[in-house]
Amino acid sequence: MVQTMKQKEKKNRDLKSSKIEGIRINRFLARCGVSSRREAEKLIEEGRIFLNGERVDSFSTLVDPVKDRVEFDGERVRLPKRFSYFIFYKPKEIVSTINDPEGRASIKRFFPSGIKGLFPVGRLDYHSEGLMLITNDGELSARLLHPRYKVIKTYELKVKKNPSEENLEKLRNGIFLNGRKTLPVEIKRIIRRETAHTWFEVKMKEGRKNQLREMFFRIGHPVIKLKRVAIGTIRIGKMKPGDIRELTKKEVEELMLSCGLNV
């Protein structure tokens, strides 16, 4: 009996629907914002991840985001119904975490209402200002922060006095901080009408805690002002401290492509 085209199409759909579909557990946890994929594997090894009441013991475990129940330390984790992406200009003297144990003002007060699971991508220290990304897409966040994906963060900073080219070259090539050498950075002088101090543009692929401040302190030229002006192709432009806006579709696509995610 010869099958009609419609019958063949229906059979193919039925075969597809009968297959077990899902995503790997480490990617699921990353997309939920629990951890990076590599960190998720560590959580699995530690026995902290459960699927439908049973401890997960394999990195290749598949998750059906609709039907399965995944728990991390006893709390259920879910994929966001919709991924959201915002650019935010963090003012100075605002902590870049959602909550602060010291009771200082945090960036959460600037978050748009009605969207669950938002968190900042990386941090800026209390006295620094500039561009931050706010999202509920855990996998994108992890990739933007990992130096392996070589997403460049651009800063403008003012330091005391005028560092020599010899000292700047040391920073460009990398110095040891806490026993580990920093990755090479680009440093370019910015000409501004100041004589006592010097402005620089710095481009880097990693972002350890207070890294730029510590690097310039090591060569005897402490940072006076620090502002992040770009992450990848996303620039702060004419935004003012406290401004927040949703990224355009094109901007999101560019960010994803920059760190190897399929659009």
Task: Based on the fold, state whether residues 126 and 252 are members of the same structural domain.
Answer: yes
Task: Based on the fold, state whether residues 241 and 123 are members of the same structural domain.
Answer: yes
CATH number of the domain to which 102 belongs: 3.30.70.580
Task: Based on the fold, state whether residues 130 and 252 are members of the same structural domain.
Answer: yes
> Which of 77, 103, 122 is at the close of a domain?
77
Task: Based on the fold, state whether residues 105 and 130 are members of the same structural domain.
Answer: yes
Residue 5 lies in a domain: no
Q: What is the reported pLDDT for 3?
A: 43
Task: Based on the fold, state whether residues 160 and 227 are members of the same structural domain.
Answer: yes
Rg (alpha carbons) of the chain, rounded to whole number:
23
Residue 169 lies in a domain: yes
Task: Based on the fold, state whether residues 59 and 115 are members of the same structural domain.
Answer: no
Q: What is the reported pLDDT for 196?
A: 87
Residue 49 lies in a domain: yes
CATH number of the domain to which 65 belongs: 3.10.290.10
Q: What is the reported pLDDT for 32?
A: 84
Helices 249-258 and 138-145 cross at an angle (nearest 10°) of: 50
Task: Based on the fold, state whether residues 168 and 51 are members of the same structural domain.
Answer: no
Distance between CA atoms of residues 98 and 26, nearest Å: 24
Task: Based on the fold, state whether residues 184 and 57 are members of the same structural domain.
Answer: no
Q: What is the reported pLDDT for 19?
A: 36
Residue 2 lies in a domain: no
Task: Based on the fold, state whether residues 159 and 223 are members of the same structural domain.
Answer: yes
The number of domains in the chain is 3
Residue 1 lies in a domain: no
Q: What is the reported pLDDT for 8?
A: 41
Digit-by-digit pLDDT tens for the chain (263 residues) are 344 444 444 434 433 333 346 889 988 888 787 877 778 889 999 999 999 999 999 988 999 988 999 999 999 998 888 889 999 999 999 999 888 888 899 998 999 988 878 889 989 999 999 999 999 888 888 889 888 899 999 999 999 999 999 999 999 999 999 999 999 999 999 988 767 899 999 999 998 999 999 999 999 999 999 999 999 999 999 999 999 999 999 999 999 999 888 76
| 125 given a catalytic annotation | yes
Cα end-to-end distance, the chain, whole Å = 42
Residue 6 lies in a domain: no
Task: Based on the fold, state whether residues 17 and 66 are members of the same structural domain.
Answer: yes
Task: Based on the fold, state whether residues 183 and 170 are members of the same structural domain.
Answer: yes
Task: Based on the fold, state whether residues 122 and 242 are members of the same structural domain.
Answer: yes
Q: What is the reported pLDDT for 86?
A: 97
> Which of 77, 94, 125 is at the close of a domain?
77
CATH number of the domain to which 200 belongs: 3.30.70.1560
Q: What is the reported pLDDT for 21?
A: 63
Domain range for 213: 152-231
pTM listed for this prediction: 0.77
Q: Which of 57, 125, 137, 243 is catalytic?
A: 125
